[in-house]
């Protein structure tokens, strides 16, 4: 259960941090505000997941301790969320693919037999709903935009695509969570994800990559070097000044 909650909370923590890196650098003011708000939502969701994880673990670690005092190999996030921002097209494509998966995942978890999990999911799904609405809209506008924006979005899709395979992997932990009535199997989301994806890509005039190769490992703690860099900047302050308070 602890590990399952880390998988949920680490996704939103790492992506929330990545998105916040745009703060003050976005191409236009409205986008800057939007990304900052999305980052805030994701970090807020993290507090609930990691807060519950700390409670379940029972070792006295709270959400902050879990966020700031763990090393890369203890993180259980999907590799997609640690991908660097690169250009705005990559950032938006990563967000869209994540939102599409995240929204379905949360909708499934609303039906969890565990009231705490269902409660957090019901809170988060409302936010995931407008995150998805926004990223879908932007993918369509930019994909079906100028030749330049189209090419960049297709390029971003090709680059991030291999990181979607891991989302639908069912491992022993997923099986245990499924049998305990806590969570449906992630793999069961795949047909819904594919259908929604096809719909948006068609409107965006983008082509789904043929490549079936999937990069995996994040959910088991095997990460890319990028996560280490991200954690170094995210964790620096509380680690350098352990008693720092706002």
Partner 1 sequence: MVEAAQIWQWLSEVPDPEIPVLSLVDLGVIRAVEVMDGMVRIKVTPTYSGCPATTFINLDIEAKLRSKGIEKLQIEPQIAPPWSTDWIKPEAHEKLREYGIAPPRPGQPYCPRCGAADTELLSQFGSTPCKSHYRCTACLEPFDAFKCL
Nearest distance from C-beta of residue 123 to partner 1, angstroms = 4
How far, rounded to the nearest angstrom, does the alpha carbon of residue 75 sit from its chain's CA centroid?
13
For partner 1, the closer of residues 17 and 223 by Cβ is: 17
Cα–Cα dist 134/112, whole Å: 27
For partner 1, the closer of residues 72 and 125 by Cβ is: 125
20 binds partner 1 (CB under 8 A): no
Selected binder of partner 1 within 23, 64, 87, 126 (CB under 8 A): 126
- Point out which span in 44-52, 95-103, 194-202, 208-216 binds partner 1 (CB under 8 A): 44-52
**What are the CA-CA distances from residue 125 to residues 5, 28, 119, 186, 245 (Å)?**
16, 27, 10, 16, 31
Selected binder of partner 1 within 42, 72, 100, 234 (CB under 8 A): 42
Which ranges of the chain would DSSP assign to H, the alpha helix? Answer: 2-20, 29-57, 63-68, 88-109, 115-143, 147-160, 172-179, 190-203, 225-240
118 binds partner 1 (CB under 8 A): yes
Cα–Cα dist 176/171, whole Å: 9
202 binds partner 1 (CB under 8 A): no
209 binds partner 1 (CB under 8 A): no
For partner 1, the closer of residues 39 and 177 by Cβ is: 39
- Point out which span in 66-74, 91-99, 113-121, 172-180 binds partner 1 (CB under 8 A): 113-121
Of 204, 87, 100, 199, give the one whose Cα is nearest residue 142. 204
Q: Which contacts (CB < 8 Å, 24+ apart) does range 60-64 have?
A: 63/9, 64/238
Stretch 145-164 residues interacting with partner 1 (CB under 8 A): none
Residues in contact with partner 1 by CB under 8 A are: 30, 33-34, 37-45, 47-48, 115, 118-120, 122-124, 126-127, 130, 133-134
């Amino acid at each position: 259960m602890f590990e399952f909650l880390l998988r949920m909370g680490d996704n939103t923590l790492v992506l929330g941090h990545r998105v916040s890196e745009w703060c003050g650098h976005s191409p236009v003011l409205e986008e800057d505000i939007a990304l900052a708000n999305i980052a805030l939502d994701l970090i807020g969701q993290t507090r609930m997941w990691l807060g519950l994880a700390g409670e379940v673990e029972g070792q006295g670690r709270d959400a902050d301790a879990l966020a700031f005092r763990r090393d890369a190999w203890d993180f259980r996030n999907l590799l997609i969320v640690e991908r660097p921002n690169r250009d705005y097209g990559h950032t938006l494509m990563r967000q869209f693919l994540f939102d599409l998966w995240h929204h379905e995942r949360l909708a499934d978890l609303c039906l969890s037999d565990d009231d705490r999990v269902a409660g957090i999911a019901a809170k988060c799904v409302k936010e995931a709903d407008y995150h998805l609405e926004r990223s879908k809209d932007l993918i369509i506008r930019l994909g079906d935009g100028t030749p330049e924006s189209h090419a960049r979005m297709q390029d971003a899709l090709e680059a991030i695509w291999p990181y979607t395979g891991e989302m639908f992997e069912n491992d022993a932990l997923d099986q245990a969570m499924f049998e305990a009535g806590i969570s449906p199997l992630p793999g069961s989301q795949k047909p819904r994800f594919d259908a929604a994806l096809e719909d948006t890509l068609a409107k965006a005039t983008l082509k789904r990559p043929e490549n079936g190769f999937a990069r995996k490992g994040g959910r088991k703690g095997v990460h890319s070097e990028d996560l280490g860099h991200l954690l170094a900047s995210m964790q620096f302050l509380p680690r350098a000044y352990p008693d720092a308070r706002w």
